[in-house]
Homo-oligomer: A and B are copies of this chain.
Amino acid sequence: MNFKTLEWRDQSLHLLDQRALPSRVRTVVCRTVAEVAEGIRNLTVRGAPAIGVAAAYGMALAPRGSSTVGGDVTSDLAHAAEILKSTRPTAVNLAWAVDRMLRLAQESTPLEIRVLRDILEREAAAIHTEDAAMCRKIGEHGAALLSEGMTVLTHCNAGALATAGIGTALGIIYTAKEQGKRLHVFVDETRPVLQGARLTMWELMQEGIDATLITDNTAASLFGAGKIDAVVVGADRIARNGDVANKIGTYNLAVLAAYHKVPFYVAAPQSTFDAGIASGAEIPIEERSATEVVEIGGVRIAPVGSRVFSPAFDVTPSEFVTAIVSDSGIRPGGRPSK
């Protein structure tokens, strides 16, 4: 990749500011738990795997303020876990990473604070490295599903910007390209936050992938014209029955893909699977501010006083999913193959 989504340097978390892309490439430095939490909440960093890694580094920053051994550190860590988990409710990777850090800290204390910090820092770095490795594996498994000359539709950003590696859905595309397959990618702009237009287009262009931007409204007519060979998206949480929570608009594509008999692939690391919930109905769906809908870049596009409904995610029932590509392989979804 020609950029770093997140980087741990000088005991600080450096986040590529995704709110500023594609106009400006700038970095936000987080030195405290509160700064990391704010970076997750305000979308400086986003994407389920990436916010998991960011939160892990946030936990590594938790004992920073603690000057004593024992009790205070424990409560600092519990407090940090609470703050970080409260930032965004839908992606499960965040809670997964925070809990892993917390468990390690609990098993490690009482320890000298400096030693505990080192342990946590190394664990966050391990989660970071594992995430990059998971992306690679997803890419390898998934690339087998794409063949020369295919046109792929993607939604939102499940790319390098959403992970600590080459991405999940886009990781598959990058890997297929490395294997010499020429692909064309249609990119849904992905309202309201425009992750497709701002982020996916940016990173695909950085990586030299042949990509065309469309409004979300345009996808259906491309399906109708037989121009889409496969849909590849990421996921924020996957239930035991295979239901998938992902960026709002994903279910729309799943219905279109099923109707037009186009395969619908979900790419996500194992940490996205939530064994604790039976079906998508139990996944909490974050509702975001109306401002994201009625203003774009500070420009007002709807009347003052407009009522808005803006869920950030939707749930795609398993019956629409052709297959889920994870780091452990390809698992068939619940969509009938005929």
Chain A 10-32 interface residues, beta-carbon cutoff 8 Å to B? 22-23
Complex contact A310–B218 (CB within 8 A): yes
Complex contact B249–A308 (CB within 8 A): no
Tell me, rounded to whole Å, the shortest Cβ–Cβ distance linking A174 to chain B. Answer: 18
Complex contact B249–A305 (CB within 8 A): no
**Is A229 an interface residue, CB under 8 A from the partner?**
no
**Is A85 an interface residue, CB under 8 A from the partner?**
no
**Is A201 an interface residue, CB under 8 A from the partner?**
yes
Give this chain's copy count. Answer: 2
Closest to A222 in B: B309
Chain A 108-127 interface residues, beta-carbon cutoff 8 Å to B? none
Complex contact B293–A213 (CB within 8 A): yes
**Is A9 an interface residue, CB under 8 A from the partner?**
no
Q: Which residues does chain B contribute within 8 Å of A186, judged by CB atoms?
A: 309
Segment of A59-67, A75-83, A264-272, A296-304 engaged in the interface with chain B: A296-304
Given known A-B contacts A198-B301, A221-B248, A224-B314, A213 and B255 have beta carbons under 8 A apart: no
Complex: A304 Cα to B21 Cα, angstroms? 11
Closest to A188 in B: B217
Tell me, rounded to whole Å, the shortest Cβ–Cβ distance linking A155 to chain B. Answer: 8
Closest to A248 in B: B217
Complex: A212 Cα to B109 Cα, angstroms? 52
Complex contact B251–A189 (CB within 8 A): no
Complex contact A197–B302 (CB within 8 A): yes
| 0 or 1 for each of A181-203: is its CB under 8 Å from B? (1 = yes) | 00000100111101001100110
Q: Which residues does chain B contribute within 8 Å of A211, judged by CB atoms?
A: 306-307
Complex: A219 Cα to B219 Cα, angstroms? 14
Q: Which residues does chain B contribute within 8 Å of A308, judged by CB atoms?
A: 212-214
Q: Which residues does chain B contribute within 8 Å of A202, judged by CB atoms?
A: 303
Complex contact A314–B212 (CB within 8 A): no
| 0 or 1 for each of A207-234: is its CB under 8 Å from B? (1 = yes) | 0000111111111110010000000000
**Is A284 an interface residue, CB under 8 A from the partner?**
no
Complex contact B299–A218 (CB within 8 A): no
Complex: A230 Cα to B238 Cα, angstroms? 31
Complex contact B214–A310 (CB within 8 A): yes
Given known A-B contacts A248-B221, A249-B217, A296-B301, A306 and B259 have beta carbons under 8 A apart: no
Complex contact A293–B189 (CB within 8 A): yes
Complex contact B306–A205 (CB within 8 A): yes
Tell me, rounded to whole Å, the shortest Cβ–Cβ distance linking A229 to chain B. Answer: 16
23 interchain pairs (CB within 8 A)? A22-B303, A22-B304, A23-B300, A189-B293, A190-B217, A191-B191, A191-B215, A201-B302, A211-B307, A213-B294, A213-B306, A213-B309, A215-B216, A215-B293, A216-B216, A216-B249, A217-B247, A221-B311, A224-B314, A258-B259, A259-B259, A296-B297, A297-B297
Given contacts A190-B217, A252-B252, 19 further A-B contacts (CB under 8 A): A186-B309, A191-B191, A192-B215, A198-B301, A201-B303, A213-B293, A213-B294, A213-B306, A218-B248, A218-B249, A218-B309, A218-B314, A220-B251, A224-B251, A255-B255, A255-B259, A296-B301, A297-B299, A298-B299
A contact residues vs B (CB 8 Å cutoff): 22-23, 186, 189-192, 194, 197-198, 201-202, 205, 211-221, 224, 247-249, 251-252, 255-256, 258-259, 293-294, 296-311, 314-315
